């Protein structure tokens, strides 16, 4: 299962952490994993375009791990661009999790680490 955690704070987006594999199909033929990876990679590339090297990124393809964390000092209008990307990509991640609840779990936490909710609608 792919576990995706979105962290938000008082100003909005803080981080996305994704770990695991969907296990929907065999390696190289897993359409759920491919869809999640494509969405997360596109989101990451766009975040890098906006934040550059201020964005903290951790990638481990073998473990299926992707983490990207926005710096806390991001202010408007850059913060607005980050939030726009979140409004664009996050619903697509949620929709994928809704379609494949056995393969993707999305959780939301606040910046203090308190889990807000697991987001899986069947």
Tens-place pLDDT, residues 45-92: 999 999 999 999 999 988 899 999 999 888 889 999 999 999 999 999
Res 112: pLDDT: 78
Res 122: pLDDT: 45
Res 32: pLDDT: 97
CATH number of this structure's domain 2-119, picked from the four choices 3.30.70.1490, 3.10.129.10, 2.40.10.220, 3.40.367.20: 3.30.70.1490
Measure the CA–CA gap between 15 and 65, rounded to whole angstroms.
13
Res 80: pLDDT: 95
Through-space distance between the first and last CA atoms of the chain, rounded to whole angstroms: 16
Res 56: pLDDT: 97
Q: Does the structure show a pLDDT above 90 at 18?
A: yes
* Closest to 64 (Cα-Cα) out of 96, 87, 32: 32
Could you tell me the pTM of the whole model?
0.89
Domain spans of the chain?
2-119
Q: What percent of the chain is modeled with pLDDT above 70? A: 92
Q: Does the structure show a pLDDT above 80 at 113?
A: no
């Amino acid at each position: 299962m792919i576990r995706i955690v979105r962290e938000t704070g008082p100003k909005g987006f803080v981080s996305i952490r994704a770990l695991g594999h969907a296990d929907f199909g065999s390696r190289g033929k897993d359409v759920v994993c491919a869809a999640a990876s494509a969405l997360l990679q596109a989101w990451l590339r766009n975040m890098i375009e906006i934040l550059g090297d201020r964005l903290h990124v951790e990638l481990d393809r073998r473990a299926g791990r992707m983490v990207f964390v926005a710096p806390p000092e991001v202010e408007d209008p850059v913060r607005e661009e980050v939030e726009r990307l979140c409004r664009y990509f996050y619903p697509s991640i949620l929709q994928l999790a809704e379609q494949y609840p056995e393969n993707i779990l999305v959780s939301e936490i606040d910046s203090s680490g308190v889990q807000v909710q697991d987001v899986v609608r069947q």
